[in-house]
Amino acid sequence: MSKARFILPFTILFILGCTPKSEVRTLTFSGMGTVLNIVYQGETDSEAENDVKADAAAVEADFSYYRPDSWVSKLNKDAARGPVAVPNHVCRLIKESLELGELSGGYFDITYKSQGALWEENKGTVPTDSELESKKQFVGGDKVEADCEKNTVKFRYEGVKIDLGGVAKGYAIDRAGAILKRHGISDFIVNYGGDMLVCGQKNGKNWNIGIKDPKNPQQMLKKIGFGAENECIGIATSGDYERFFTIGGKNYSHIMNPRTGKPIKNVHSVTVTGRNATITDLAATAAAVAIYDETAVKKIMEKFAVKIYSLSGDERFLIDWQQ
């Protein structure tokens, strides 16, 4: 299989307006396979910036599926043999992901990788239905046990694999936001590859976030104002245009449907807003998988307390699921 091609997600655009440059600071760096960006109001705080950069690297080191020394890789190697001791924050994110995956009705599932890995390991060919079926027994949140009193994680069967790629970026964003707040910075946007945490305001006015058309980047589909004193909002976008891999000259979305083991189709952009970036990152993935199931999407909105905006199929206009 050819190497995955990653496209930076420009669906979300934050609009700074005409605020004086002296009052808005920007930090841009690389990590998690994308561009990471912090915008904040106030004096330059080098210590806060360094702490954010170091923490993003730490999250990637802990949760990357592709790094052989990450906790995810260690669990995929050893957790079927017995409980593996992990740091508390690793256990808590896995446990939360399992619980929220159940709330999503199975449209988000960190064990999807048990089937999803076939798309990477199948030597450049599309996995057959029988190959996917043979791995289905390893998919499901009940295949993983996370005991966060003992801080151990265990897999029920050899062959179970987890991947926290659908939630780790949002988790990293929330951690970055907490770091900025500890440094006394309250008005900021953390933007990691298009997923965000928007906090406070800009000179007493709302931060403005634009949802762009993935098919026509010059067109803004919707502008949303965010911001209030001491308020934070998470924003995440998933879709089949941002990141994909190619097999036999055909592009496939990197987002897998845990129910089928296959990539989602014709889901161009799903933007979710909610109380924090961890929730919206996970919910955006779930909603992208469930987008053609209206009942499921509405349940995700209700259970996760999020708002959803989507562009899928042949739709030309953004669908506001709140209307």
Cα first-last separation, the chain: 42
Which is more confidently placed, 195 or 8? 195
Question: What pLDDT score does 227 carry?
Answer: 63
Q: Is the pTM for the entire model greater than 0.85?
A: yes
Question: What pLDDT score does 8 carry?
Answer: 34
- Banded pLDDT at 215 (limits 50, 70, 90): confident
229-281 pLDDT tens trace? 668 999 999 987 666 788 888 888 889 999 999 999 999 889 999 999 999 99
Question: Hey, what are 90's tokens?
Answer: 């690793």
Q: Which residues contact residue 216 at a Cβ distance below 8 angstroms, ignoring those fewer than 6 apart?
A: none
Which is more confidently placed, 91 or 21? 91
Residue 22 has pLDDT above 60, yes or no: no
Task: Compute and round to an integer the Cα radius of gyration of the chain.
Answer: 19
Query: Taking residues 278-307, what's their average pLDDT?
Result: 96
Q: Which stretch of 73-77, 137-141, 237-241, 290-294 has the lowest confidence by average pLDDT?
A: 237-241
| CB contact at 8 A, 10 and 236 | no
How many residues comprise the chain? Answer: 323
Whose CA is closest to 213, among 277, 281, 269?
A: 269
β-bridge mates for residue 318, sequence order: none
- Banded pLDDT at 18 (limits 50, 70, 90): very low
Sheet with 243-247: strands ordered across: 5-6, 243-247, 250-253
Q: At 283, phi and psi to the nearest 5?
A: -65, -35
Whose CA is closest to 162, among 98, 231, 106, 99?
A: 98
β-bridge mates for residue 36, sequence order: 29, 192
Domains and their CATH numbers in the chain: 5-62+167-320 (3.10.520.10), 66-155 (1.10.3980.10)
31-52 pLDDT tens trace? 998 999 999 999 999 999 999 9
173-185 pLDDT tens trace? 999 999 999 999 9
- Banded pLDDT at 282 (limits 50, 70, 90): very high
Question: Hey, what are 285's tokens?
Answer: 């993935």
Question: What pLDDT score does 245 carry?
Answer: 80
Provide the CA 263 distance to its chain's centre, in angstroms: 16
Conformation bin of residue 246: beta by default, left when phi > 0, alpha when psi is -120 to 50: beta
